[in-house]
Protein backbone atom coordinates (compact mmCIF):
# COMPACT_ATOMS: atom_id res chain seq x y z
CA UNK A 1 0.00 0.00 0.00
CA UNK A 2 1.42 3.31 -1.13
CA UNK A 3 -0.06 6.59 0.07
CA UNK A 4 -1.74 8.63 -2.64
CA UNK A 5 -2.79 12.28 -2.64
CA UNK A 6 -6.42 12.96 -1.76
CA UNK A 7 -6.67 16.19 -3.70
CA UNK A 8 -4.71 18.84 -5.57
CA UNK A 9 -5.19 22.30 -4.07
CA UNK A 10 -5.18 25.14 -6.59
CA UNK A 11 -5.69 28.89 -6.58
CA UNK A 12 -2.36 30.59 -5.90
CA UNK A 13 -0.72 32.74 -8.57
CA UNK A 14 2.71 32.66 -6.85
CA UNK A 15 4.75 29.98 -5.11
CA UNK A 16 3.39 28.63 -1.82
CA UNK A 17 5.67 29.48 1.11
CA UNK A 18 3.68 28.23 4.14
CA UNK A 19 0.95 25.66 4.86
CA UNK A 20 -0.97 24.52 7.90
CA UNK A 21 -3.27 21.49 8.10
CA UNK A 22 -6.00 20.99 10.70
CA UNK A 23 -7.06 17.37 10.35
CA UNK A 24 -9.72 17.72 13.09
CA UNK A 25 -11.62 20.31 11.03
CA UNK A 26 -10.56 19.05 7.60
CA UNK A 27 -8.93 22.36 6.63
CA UNK A 28 -5.75 23.34 4.82
CA UNK A 29 -4.57 26.97 4.85
CA UNK A 30 -1.78 27.98 2.50
CA UNK A 31 0.04 31.25 1.93
CA UNK A 32 1.70 32.32 -1.31
CA UNK A 33 4.79 34.49 -1.73
CA UNK A 34 2.77 37.52 -2.87
CA UNK A 35 -0.90 36.89 -2.44
CA UNK A 36 -3.75 35.91 -0.17
CA UNK A 37 -3.87 32.93 2.14
CA UNK A 38 -6.32 30.34 0.83
CA UNK A 39 -8.52 28.08 2.94
CA UNK A 40 -9.30 24.68 1.37
CA UNK A 41 -10.99 21.55 2.60
CA UNK A 42 -8.80 18.46 2.72
CA UNK A 43 -10.74 17.17 -0.30
CA UNK A 44 -9.71 20.22 -2.36
CA UNK A 45 -12.67 22.63 -2.24
CA UNK A 46 -11.65 26.29 -2.02
CA UNK A 47 -13.60 27.92 0.83
CA UNK A 48 -12.15 31.40 1.29
CA UNK A 49 -9.30 33.76 0.50
CA UNK A 50 -7.85 35.65 3.49
CA UNK A 51 -6.50 39.00 2.31
CA UNK A 52 -3.99 40.91 4.42
CA UNK A 53 -3.86 44.68 4.67
CA UNK A 54 -1.68 46.63 2.24
CA UNK A 55 1.24 46.30 4.72
CA UNK A 56 0.77 42.53 5.05
CA UNK A 57 1.60 41.04 1.66
CA UNK A 58 4.14 38.32 2.45
CA UNK A 59 2.82 35.51 4.71
CA UNK A 60 5.59 33.46 6.36
CA UNK A 61 3.94 31.29 9.03
CA UNK A 62 0.43 29.91 9.46
CA UNK A 63 -1.04 28.07 12.43
CA UNK A 64 -4.57 26.69 12.83
CA UNK A 65 -6.04 25.44 16.10
CA UNK A 66 -8.49 22.57 16.45
CA UNK A 67 -11.14 25.20 17.34
CA UNK A 68 -10.69 26.90 13.96
CA UNK A 69 -8.62 29.90 15.05
CA UNK A 70 -6.06 30.91 12.45
CA UNK A 71 -2.90 32.92 13.07
CA UNK A 72 -0.89 34.24 10.13
CA UNK A 73 2.52 35.91 10.53
CA UNK A 74 3.41 38.34 7.75
CA UNK A 75 6.92 39.60 7.00
User: Taking 80 as the threshold, does the pLDDT of residue 1 lie above it?
Assistant: no
- pLDDT at site 7: 85
Residue 54, CA atoms < 13 Å, CB-side half-sphere: 0
> Quick check: is 11 in a domain?
no
Domain that holds residue 26: 16-74
The count of domains in the chain is 1
Q: Identify whether 10 is part of a domain.
A: no
Q: How confident is the model at residue 60 (pLDDT cuts 50, 70, 90)?
A: very high
pLDDT-based confidence at residue 26 (cuts at 50, 70, 90): very high
Examine residue 58 and state whether it is found in any structural domain, yes or no: yes
Q: Confirm whether 48 is domain-assigned.
A: yes
Averaged pLDDT, 55-69: 90
Give burial (CB, 10 Å; 0-12/13-18/19+) of 13. exposed
Is 40 a domain residue?
yes
pLDDT of residue 42: 92
pTM: 0.86
Q: Quick check: is 45 in a domain?
A: yes
Amino acid sequence: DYPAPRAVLTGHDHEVVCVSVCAELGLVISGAKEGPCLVHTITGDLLRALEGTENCLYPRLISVSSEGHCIIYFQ
